[in-house]
Amino acid sequence: MKKNDKYPLIWTRDLTKSYFGDAVPTHALRGVSFEIKSGEFVAIMGPSGSGKSTLLHLIGFLDRQTKGDFRFDGSTIDDYEKEELAHIRNQKMGFIFQAFHLLARTTVYDNVRLPLVYSSIPESQWDELVRKAIERVQLTDRINHEPSQLSGGEKQRVAIARALVNTPQVVFADEPTGNLDSKSGEIVMDTLQELNAEDGHTIILITHETYTAEHAQRIIYMRDGLIESDKKVSTQRHAHDGFKK
């Protein structure tokens, strides 16, 4: 049996993360267990200091747990060399951050193309993939614009296109509406919800906002490094019909 036939896409058991300084150790995660299947849209909620960002770093192969077990598509972080981990993050994971992290004085096209430069995908396929990703977030008319010429919501949609360009197995969205006004934030969340509902992308959303989390199908609520609740969303917010500029 193949490893990824036995486990769901994301699988954790008693996941613990502690930071050891000169004083008393800080326990960011205190034993977290949950599973996320391919195609789910899951929001991880909690106040500042609850452990949600630490959890994102662990399940995104950006950090290593202190104790416990985490498997992504059946494999643990110890199954890979450092270079292989970078490849996994590039090929199988897409990341969207609150601060956009777009390159200034670089067009939308080239920002979205960037992950392909570090991938194993043949260069002959890059143009089609970039244009398809930009079209998916309805920014074709901004393809030659630079970030300074875009609104906050448009910048985040560029970041979403960049996360999608490698067709990853999972997209991690870390407070994607944190720097946006409510209207732009709603458009971004509608985009993520449509990517999940229409294209089947697995979305893992980190947020402290209930309104944002309700776009997901399921909410894992964290407090003090532990999972306080894990429930399906009773009434998922529906994406708007189309995007508003």
Per-residue pLDDT in tens (0 to 9) along the chain, 245 residues: 344 568 999 999 999 999 987 778 889 999 999 999 999 999 999 999 999 999 999 999 999 999 999 999 999 999 999 899 999 999 999 999 999 999 999 999 999 999 999 898 999 999 999 999 999 999 999 999 999 999 999 999 999 999 999 999 999 999 999 999 999 999 999 999 999 998 899 999 999 999 899 999 999 999 999 999 999 998 767 655 444 43
The answer to pTM > 0.85 is: yes
Label the pairing between strands 67-72 and 10-19: antiparallel
| CA gap 12, 223 in Å, rounded | 17
The C-alpha angle with vertex 55 and arms to 30 and 53, in degrees rounded to 5, equals 115
Q: What is the pLDDT at residue 123?
A: 96
pLDDT at 175: 94
3-state secondary structure (DSSP) of residue 182 = helix
96-114 exposure pattern, b = at least 16 Cβ within 10 A, e = fewer: bbbebebeeeebbbbbbbe
Distances (CA, A) of 56 to 17, 97, 226, 228: 12, 11, 14, 17
